[in-house]
Amino acid sequence: MQQIKEDCSDKDNQLISTVEAFHDRVGKITSPFIPFIPRFDLWFNVKSQSEQKEPLLEGVMGLDNFSNSLGFVPYTNVPDFMPQRKLENNIHRAIGFYDIIEALYSIKFNKVKVSSAKNTDNNSLTVKYHTPVGDAVTEIIYTPDMKKSGTSISWVKSHILKSIDDIKVMEYIFDDMEIVDRNFKYAEYINDKKPDYIPIAYGFIASSGMLHIMRDFLPVNDFYLWLNDYPQKLEKLAKVISKKLADAILILKKCPADIIFLGGNFDSTITYPAFYKKYILTDFYEFVEELHKAGKKVVSHTDGENKALWDLYLETKIDILEAVAVYPMVSESMKEIIEKMGNKVTLWGLVDSIALLENSMSLDNFHKYIEELIGFAKKYPVILGISDTSPTDMSIDRLLYIRDRLKKENKK
């Protein structure tokens, strides 16, 4: 491991030109350089807390520094949703908003009053929204075990929709909500970063009003029961939410980043085609088109089973599909996915996390897998990455093998 670290110290050996290659491959290939921008935040979170630290982590000051030390441009798409690992830093998490540096906006209320109380017994935070039409209560949790496992987002223990009467409370909350511009904070943040950094501003994960309700307000099974029983009420609430998301888009259009993270965690079963067409497509397409008018590109975190959704992603006009998985993690092979989508959109990912596990894929098959992927990357706008993130028990040698193999390829 020490030799690996010494090999990375030479700037000439680092993949700094990944930044330019990344942009060259968004929708086209103008450079033969194949970029590799892996995500390994969970691995880093776990290993950096371990009593016996990996030799590679000696003297490392944060995840970006660690990425640079290995010769990688830092992964910047999915942000860390738990700043300083404090629940109180993200009290609005259960209604779908995060107070993180990568977000270009925050929320505030005029008439709604917000109170919170921390429960140290179970490491949870109860948040209450007080309105003239009633109160809404939610609870989020982040336990020591979650921290130890590397989890970078809190869990909603008690969802905000508990009875049908809560819908009108949520309508009031979103009507009263104001989306506040904080571009200046993000501009300062990225100005402090090194040149070998790709700014990707966080927009929102739930790219429509109805998806926002599904993702944050109810457990998924309950959501579909509510949608069956109260479709008109949920559709009315979704329209109110969509208006606020549109306000956020206006702020994102002015941001200093060229790429905006919008939409994620889709799946052919949960956000199945009929649901996507009815409740996601219109909002999502309009948001993407507004950002395109401002010269922005949109990246979505499509880390699930996408077989039934590819055409809908194209109809939405998304520029980059990130965390794309291949067989055996999903039903389609690398060849099927790339040949179907490769000339129509940029694919970022394609290295399944299980490929980094020695007990899941033999070394010989791993090498063949990477050679096949490099072959496709020469022909299509592909950015190599991990779907979804490097597992905590991965072989770091396999991650570095991909890096070194690409160094040789990119020098040809």
Determine the longest span between alpha carbons in the chain, in angstroms.
Answer: 67
In a domain, 83, yes or no: yes
In a domain, 302, yes or no: yes
The count of other CB atoms within 10 Å of the CB of residue 184 is 10
Q: 292 or 82: whose pLDDT is higher?
A: 292
Q: Residue 368 maps to which CATH number?
A: 3.20.20.210
In 70-151, alpha helices (H):
144-148
CA distance 225 to 228: 5
352 pLDDT tier (thresholds 50, 70, 90):
very high
- The total of structural domains in the chain comes to 1
Give, as one character, the DSSP assignment of residue 127. Answer: E
Instruction: Classify residue 11 as exposed, middle or buried by CB count within 10 Å of its CB (0-12, 13-18, 19+).
Output: exposed
Domain residues for 211? 2-107+178-410
Q: What percent of the chain has pLDDT over 90?
A: 82
In a domain, 169, yes or no: no
The predicted structure's pLDDT at residue 13: 44
In a domain, 115, yes or no: no
The predicted structure's pLDDT at residue 206: 97
In a domain, 98, yes or no: yes
In a domain, 320, yes or no: yes
In a domain, 326, yes or no: yes
In a domain, 184, yes or no: yes
| pLDDT, tens digit, 9 for 90 and up, residues 253-275 | 999 999 999 999 999 999 999 99
Instruction: Compute the C-alpha angle 220/263/192, nearest 5°.
Output: 130
Joined tokens for residue 357 = 């596990």
For residue 105, is pLDDT > 70?
yes
| pLDDT, tens digit, 9 for 90 and up, residues 378-403 | 999 999 999 999 999 999 999 999 99
CA distance 187 to 183: 6
CA distances to 18, 193, 198, 284, 353 from 68, rounded to whole Å, are: 12, 12, 13, 34, 21
CA distance 241 to 391: 35
